[in-house]
Amino acid sequence: MIRVDGEVHEGLYDDLIAVEVSERVGEPSSFALQVGIYKKQQGGWTRLDETSAADGGFAPWQRITVAASFDDSPDVLIDGYVAGVGPRFEPVEADSYVLVWGYDASYAMDLDEKVVAWPDKKYSDIATELFQAYGLDPTVVDTQVVQDQTKELLIQRGTDWQFLKELARRVGFDVFVRGGAGYFRPAELSRTPQKDLAVHVGTLGTNVTWFEPRVVGDLPTKIAMARANPLTKAIEKVEVSESPLRALGERAGDALREGRQIPAQPVALAAPEPLVTDQAMEALATGIRRRNDWIVTGEGELDGTLYGRALRADGVVLIKGAGQAFSGRYYVTEVTHRITPAGYTQRFKVTRNGLGVQGDEPFQGADAEPGEPAGNDERVEVRGAGREVAP
């Protein structure tokens, strides 16, 4: 289902060639519509000469909502705005089309560059204020550390979205927008997994077309930070070596190095920002440790028809059939849904902080019922009508 400025236009489906929606964590989600255009008898082209959505035209800043329907409750894949419109005129007139692309509501947060001081604020306070400034409902996890302006005045230089991404990077959080809500939080790894991704488990059970995981062992797992106290001149140190995230695999990075004649736990020396407090140093070091946890990454493609629902980014999924090392829980960071007359595919990217099956994974059988997707307890809520994603 596709809505333009909150309305469904049935004529759009007659000309629709392809729909692509990329849902991401840490970056704006995006969409692209490929729509056929035709020469009019009286001159001009369909959809290019129309000035309104009701007449079939497209223009920047129109609201586009794309949902996938597998049951009585459509799953909203994206609710955002048109960023651009570009026609392509082919040698064969009937092969011509217009490409319409755009982004979620974070697109509006990435336009206006500014310089702003944020005295005596926590990163989570700033995230809440910025989301609310765009009418977005904030879902924010408390970062606890107040940036005392007498010790460190936090200055924003750039767009609101760029600033939010930088704050999230410092503490190892994810930042993203879904519908009319903004999220600023660490990866939630304890949620109920979505429907299993099955690799070579038999003709009836397999739903993954291909899957390519990889593991690295060179990410430092002890983060050290030191600074000279400007008042006492003493050297203050902070070390973070324990992971703040739930383990998704049996063996983390440190376990992979056990018994080797190399440093048992490589150390990364992080440079503190000027005049940070001990609490701020620990928060920064914890953020780096959080980012360095992801030793396994992977990407693949899913047959959407066989899967029978929409895989969602910012969720946990179980992958089975990939061997003892690469089967198990994964965190989904990106899913690209592509719908064409040839079929429905879902290209995905996943990551995890360990190798191996833990033994408590609730793997589903090949005959798992459709219905409500497991782990999809955070459906995207959007306004039905209107030209705006958020009030």
- For the chain, the maximum distance between any two Cα atoms, rounded to a whole number of angstroms, is 83
- Decide: pTM greater than 0.85: yes
pLDDT score of 249: 92
* 73-102 per-position pLDDT tens digit: 788 999 999 999 999 999 999 999 999 999
Return the structure tokens found at 132.
């609310």
216: buried, middle or exposed (CB in 10 Å: 19+, 13-18, 0-12)? exposed
Distance of CA 185 to the CA centre of its chain: 12
Crossing angle (nearest 10°) for helices 278-292 and 160-171: 90
Q: What are the residue ranges in the chain where pLDDT is below 70?
A: 259, 261-265, 271-276, 365-379, 391
Return the structure tokens found at 325.
């090392």
Among candidate residues 68, 69, 51, the one with its CA nearest the CA of residue 60: 51
The sign of the dihedral angle between the CA atoms of 347, 351, 357, 359 is: negative
pLDDT score of 242: 86
pLDDT score of 367: 46
Q: What are phi and psi of 325, to 5 degrees?
A: -75, -40
Return the structure tokens found at 232.
């006492």
Contacts 24+ apart (CB under 8 A), 229-234: 230/275
Beta bridge partners of 16: 35
pLDDT score of 134: 95
SS3 of 195-212: EEEECCCCCCCCCEEEEE
- What is the number of alpha carbons within 13 Å of residue 374 lying toward its C-beta? 17
CA separation for the pair 9, 1 (Å, rounded): 10
